[in-house]
Chain A
């Protein structure tokens, strides 16, 4: 055996960091490509059941949300943005938080990436980027489900400018939420994460009803503003189904940007704390 005589030369920090970032993104996408089946299953299971029961079964048996005829059509259209927004949050949990809990936990798998020549915060940003890409893919997978399964026609009126700006923002917020959770939760706390974060966030995220219609319950209307999913759902609502009442567009941008900065900061700080001592 002989070690190559050619030893590493120091490259400028900037280009070394960019290469390392790209290498990690490539790694995440390779892992995703190889587990595409599992990705699709975990992405569609919940929305598929939800859309099927509420917008196909209920109208057919003449029961439930929105009633029949115009009401049912309204509800199935209303649900589309909520289902897409939930997909972004679920990807943040499944593509970022859960793998990180393992990588930080017993196996310390993250170590090799932390030793790559880029700053520790760069590794954290890579995680958000890769989570956001997976969130975008999940939205694309979920969208046709919510559009074509309902028994009653879905009415969409797409504002492309809003859609193409809200989508990256929403997926990044979902991934940043995943990073914040993943860097702080211990493996044994994962079931708790679902009970105390994921379930309340999804049910109270203006996903199954427009936020503006919460007027009869003012305390709830204001309390849920602390839920990042509200801005994601409202964003997709104005972009896909503007016929429903929604939050002012500026407030949605501001809410998403604010949560992206806050959760990103929380996640990066948590990440640093886990790998540096």
Chain B
């Protein structure tokens, strides 16, 4: 079941890190430790993911790195600058897309981009050109004059992304960029992010969708209760599960007992009870499903549902915490 983290994950400082946190901690009123001694280093041009369930401290971490949340202790550095000591310079270098639609409702889509450019000191002609250029790139030109409330969720998210890069930030922070989007809009946004990255943009994103972290991120930091649990590339993280197959078994009866029983299954490395099913981690997948059913039913359980997959980042999270990402 719940695996204790043997040691704090390696978070060796990277040379030329563009984002760095050192023992970064935020304690909110009521002594809630939202972020607890976080050490992270993100290098230039990287897409870095913070993965964890709601309440893991991802948004607070981004808040501190983007000057809106004041750290209780520790350091948050952007391009080598402490954001608390030098918020003005830090703000000039970063772009931020927050979780909800914060577009200016009093302005049109085009105006949102134009005035953002003006806030960052662009001349009127520069800001005008940049607004039109970005709307075209993001395939939003036909919406230039639209009111914000008339946009779909996916479009609003694209406008937010376009707005956040008007001033050509070196680092882009995205907080749950695809939360609440339909699958198609999510894919479209992933495409845009991949294109941005291929042009050298450093991106830090938070997500509680493991697919998003797996698809987009070079490295993923898994967080829970304000702490870093693991940090590596998605592939290496998945390898750390120590199995190449995950079988989900839904059955009637005491699932803890079923998990105990399946632990003795041939090839099983470990099991976990999550989300009203038992996860069995195995090496080797050939012909495994019928044998799992036999094993479980032999022990008196009635199997209701069964599925098999490769381990995912969620498996890693379950492995580390005994819970799934949605809990």
Chain A residues within 8 Å of B, Cβ to Cβ: 1-8, 10-11, 13, 15-17, 19-20, 22-24, 26-27, 30-31, 99, 102, 107-119, 275-277
Contact, CB under 8 Å: A118 / B102: no
The segment out of B63-71, B236-244, B262-270, B300-308 that lies at the interface is B63-71
A116 to B67, CA, bound (A): 11
Q: CA of A220 to CA of B246 in the docked complex: distance in angstroms? A: 79
Closest to B93 in A: A8
Q: How far is the CA of A115 from the CA of B111 in the complex (A)?
A: 17
B323, chain A: closest CB distance, angstroms: 27
A107 to B67, CA, bound (A): 20
In the assembled complex, 12 residue pairs joining A and B whose CB atoms fall closer than 8 Å, in A order, are A1-B192, A4-B168, A8-B120, A13-B88, A30-B111, A31-B107, A99-B106, A109-B105, A110-B102, A115-B66, A115-B91, A115-B96
Enumerate B81-126 residues with CB–CB distance to A below 8 Å. 87-89, 91-94, 96, 98, 100-107, 111-112, 115-116, 118-121
**B91 contacts A116, C-beta separation under 8 Å:** yes
Q: A26-B118, A109-B105, A112-B119 are in contact. Are A277 and B165 (CB under 8 A)?
A: no
Are A24's CB and B104's CB within 8 A? Answer: no
Q: B310 within 8 Å of A by Cβ?
A: no
Which listed residue, A6, A24, A31, touches B168 by the CB 8 Å rule? A6
Which residue on chain A has the smallest CB distance to residue B170?
Answer: A7
A20 touches B105 (CB 8 A): no
> For chain B, which range describes its interface: under 10, 10 to 19, 20 to 34, or 35 or more residues?
35 or more
Residues of A within 8 Å of B98, CB to CB, are: 108, 111
Give the docked Cα–Cα distance between A69 and B70 (Å): 65
Chain A residues with CB under 8 A of B196: 1, 3
Bitwise interface map of B from 191 to 223 toward A, beta carbon under 8 Å scored 1, else 0 = 010011001110000000000000000000000
Bound CA span A277–B94, Å: 19
Residues of chain A lying within 8 A (CB to CB) of residue B119: 19-20, 23-24, 27, 112-113, 116-117
16 further A-B contacts with Cβ under 8 Å, apart from A16-B92, A115-B67, A117-B119, are A3-B200, A6-B168, A7-B169, A8-B170, A10-B92, A23-B115, A24-B119, A107-B102, A107-B105, A109-B105, A113-B119, A114-B68, A116-B91, A117-B89, A117-B120, A277-B28
Chain A residues lying within 8 Å of B165, measured Cβ to Cβ, are 3
Q: Please give me the residue from chain B that is nearest to A106 by CB atom.
A: B100
Q: Interface centre among A8, A19, A111, A276, by most B CB within 10 Å?
A: A8
Q: Is the CB of A27 within 8 A of B115?
A: yes
Q: How far is the CA of A208 from the CA of B239 in the complex (A)?
A: 79
A276 near B70 with CB under 8 A, answer: yes
Bound form: Cα–Cα A21–B320 in Å? 48
Chain B contacts of A3 at CB under 8 A? 165, 168, 196, 199-201
Instruction: Assess whether A2 is in contact with B199, with CB atoms less than 8 Å apart.
Output: yes
Does B137 belong to the interface (CB within 8 Å)? yes
